[in-house]
């Protein structure tokens, strides 16, 4: 998979992202380095691309650079626009049929290595997938700040005090047609179960919008004043000003706070010195389980 940054010392077109760079994908990767496998773009709906090109422009540019597969996530209309643009480009001979045929050969060769994944019938997960996901999540979860000794938490202490969890409403992401595990669409039940594995009943769980407005932030701020320990599952503070403001407010208001960065290590930029902070690099169930375990310094598996 390629990515969207610009490499001005490699491609003489100093403003062209790697996604559109034939110098990088075809000349360097294929010809000079001899890579013979399948190449795929990162999501063409990312801001680094959409700020410079429409989907109709981006799809032919990415294909011309030498990609075999174009990734366009969660947007059927954009996928259709890309298909139409590619079809038109091949008909107009703006893209070479010979290169399309080579791409098809590489894709068929890749599919042939795992024929069982393309058989008819119900799609099933990989048998080893769950175990591997758990392993990756546990090894990836990191403590970025102990909160002056707050982490790892003592289950015995937690059992005697009131604990509140603040969790993002992932229905908002699901409505954008991104896949969210069913367990995380019922976060109250999910978090109750995970904390109960340590014998700890949460006093409450507050769902918060991905970009909470002033009134919602004020309500949560008043709620946390009553609690002795707050877990804030923070999602995309670098994108949403409401989340940044809530994060700042919680750090100023909470008696004891553990911030769990669900998706982006970049959100650490808004963590104040002395705040307990853990990151799991994602919002899948295995990653949430891993960061909760990390908070207590143990594994329950």
For the chain (301 residues), the mean pLDDT of every run of 10, in chain order, is: 93 90 96 96 92 94 97 89 97 96 96 82 80 93 94 92 92 74 89 88 90 95 92 93 96 95 89 95 90 83 50
Write down the pLDDT at residue 177. Answer: 60
Please report, for the chain, the start and end positions of each structural domain, with discontinuous segments joined by +: 18-117, 131-296
Q: In a 3-state reduction of DSSP, which class is residue 63?
A: helix
Second-level CATH architecture of 131-296 = 3-Layer(aba) Sandwich (3.40)
271's tokens: 């963590």
- Residue 94 near residue 60 (C-beta atoms within 8 A): yes
Contact 280, 262 (CB under 8 A): yes
Phi, psi of 7 (to 5 degrees): -120, 80
Whether omega for the bond prior to residue 12 falls within 30 degrees of 0, making it cis, is: no
Q: How many CA atoms lie within 13 A of 126 on its CB side?
A: 7
Q: How far apart are CA 179 and CA 134, in angstroms?
A: 18
CA distances from 3 to 42, 45, 226, 241 (A): 6, 12, 46, 26
According to the model, what pLDDT value does residue 191 have? 93
pTM here? 0.74
Q: Which residue, 153, 188, 189, 184, is CA-closest to 170?
A: 184
Q: Strand, coil or helix: what is 291?
A: helix
């Amino acid at each position: 998979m390629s990515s969207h940054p610009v490499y001005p010392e490699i491609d003489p077109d100093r403003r062209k992202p790697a996604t559109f760079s034939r110098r990088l994908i075809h000349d360097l990767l294929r010809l000079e380095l001899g890579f013979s496998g399948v190449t795929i773009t990162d999501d063409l709906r990312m801001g680094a691309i959409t700020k410079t090109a429409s989907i109709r422009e981006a799809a032919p540019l990415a294909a011309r650079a030498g990609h075999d597969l174009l990734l366009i996530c969660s947007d059927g209309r954009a996928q259709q626009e890309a298909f139409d643009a590619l079809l038109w480009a091949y008909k107009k001979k703006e893209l070479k049929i010979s290169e399309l045929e080579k791409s098809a050969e590489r894709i068929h060769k890749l599919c042939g290595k795992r024929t069982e994944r393309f058989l008819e019938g119900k799609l099933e997960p990989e048998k080893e997938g769950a175990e591997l996901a758990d392993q990756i999540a546990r090894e990836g979860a990191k403590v970025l700040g102990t909160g002056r000794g707050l982490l790892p938490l003592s289950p015995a202490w937690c059992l005697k005090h009131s604990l509140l969890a603040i969790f993002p409403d992932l229905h908002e992401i699901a409505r954008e047609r991104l896949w969210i595990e069913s367990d995380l669409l019922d976060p109250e039940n999910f978090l109750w179960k995970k904390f109960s594995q340590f014998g700890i009943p949460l006093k409450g769980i507050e769902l918060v919008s991905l970009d909470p407005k002033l009134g919602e932030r004020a309500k949560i701020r008043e709620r946390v004043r009553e609690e002795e320990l707050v877990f804030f599952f923070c999602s995309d503070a670098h994108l949403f000003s409401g989340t940044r403001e809530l994060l700042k407010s919680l750090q100023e208001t909470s008696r004891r706070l553990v911030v769990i960065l669900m998706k982006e290590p970049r959100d650490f930029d808004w963590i104040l010195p002395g705040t307990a902070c853990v990151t799991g690099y994602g919002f899948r169930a295995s990653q949430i389980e891993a960061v909760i375990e990390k908070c207590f310094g143990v594994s329950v598996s």
